[in-house]
Structure 1
Amino acid sequence: MKKDQRGAVVIIEATFVFPIMFFVIFIMLMSCEAYYQYARVESACMTAAIRGAARCENPMLEEVQNTGEVPTSPSAVKVRPYRYIFTSEAKNIAGQLESELRNQINGMNSLAFGGIKPSNVHVTVTPKMNVFVSSFQVDCNFQIKLPIRMIFSNDDLAYKYSISMSEPVGDPAEFIRNVSTVQDYLERSEFGEKIENFAAKIKEALGKIARFTN
């Protein structure tokens, strides 16, 4: 009787438990590859954000990276003064990086399981250029389909991801130049004269308070 029971247990395990176990392991391996693809896209987005911020900070960086030398021609220098106020240069950089990043993600291949790679990729690169605080933001939405379907359904299993990377743009020299421009504009306008008169009155009032307290 005990021998018959042992035989029945082995049959049940071989019929139900082993297939379920292998199916779970199979799903786990595919999920690991999907997460690996997500990590690759995240790394690409981070690199694009860093590149965009660096190129906005230093307009000569692209020429130095392409040639390996500091540009000597005035046309190749591309200083682009006041580029945080007039953002056309930043938009051009964003357009180039957006196209490169989209092609890079769409060109990623699967590893062990065919078809497990990014699809339905939507990339948006947005330079947020301001006088005081600037940043370079990269957003990417995509999905990774698994080569299996839900039970009793025609829908494929898919992971949907959304990545957002933002890098600050800091350039002290350009910041000082922008502040000087605003200061010169205010000094030449009627509004600047009003500010100077108001500041003089505040300074005079503070002087009177200081004499009274002393």
Structure 2
Amino acid sequence: MIDKITLTVGFDQRESIAFHVFCQSVIDKATKPVQFIPLAENISGLYKETHTDGSNQFIYSRFLTPYLMNFDGWAIFADGDMVCMADIAELWSLKDESKAVCVVQHDYKTKAARKYLGNINQDYPRKNWSSLILWNCSHPANQILTPEFISSKPGSFLHRFSWLSDDLIGNLDPQWNWLAIEYEENPQAKLVHYTLGTPCFKDYANESMSQYWHDVNSRVNEGFDF
């Protein structure tokens, strides 16, 4: 059986290019087959968004990943506003069967009161933990994550992984979810996360670590004569 990597990726039409750039960055460096599942609003009738908060259109659908996998095997969820700078198979190799999820356990205060498209950027416990998730979809603790359950829970419960005990949350190296602008420049980062704003937005086009995104974007457009 081929060991392929399943990657669910947040998709928001307002920054659709970000999704394509992220996927390109993964493809460029991957040494294992990768299957991408875009978490767009219209891809399935199995979940209707009832939450009224959130700065993007996949803020809650990320928690459907185990359900979409039929609660079997492993998958990675990633926000679309990222660039992968390393082989995604390296992240895949960090699977820990004793954990329900593995995440970068950020502990920081934001530098910006607002982020892209004027969205309020609040501090809260476990901020950005859910922006990159290595999911153990088979873990019994994750089988509670049905569309009905996710619809019924507030964002604070879901993004803090409150259905899990702390010992079921594995800790990944911060290099796998390096927050551009919020953290210092880091050429060693394995995955750069433009959490305040993807460089596709003019306000963030020339911010810290934006060149990595622009370099991959040029690859997306390679061969096109506009």
TM-score w.r.t. the length of structure 2 is 0.23
As a proportion of its length, which structure holds more helix? 1
If the length of structure 1 is used for normalisation, what is the TM-score?
Answer: 0.24
- When Rg is computed on C-alpha atoms for both structures, the one with the higher figure is 1
Q: Determine which structure has greater relative contact order: mean sequence separation of CA pairs < 8 Å that are 6+ residues apart, divided by chain length.
A: 2
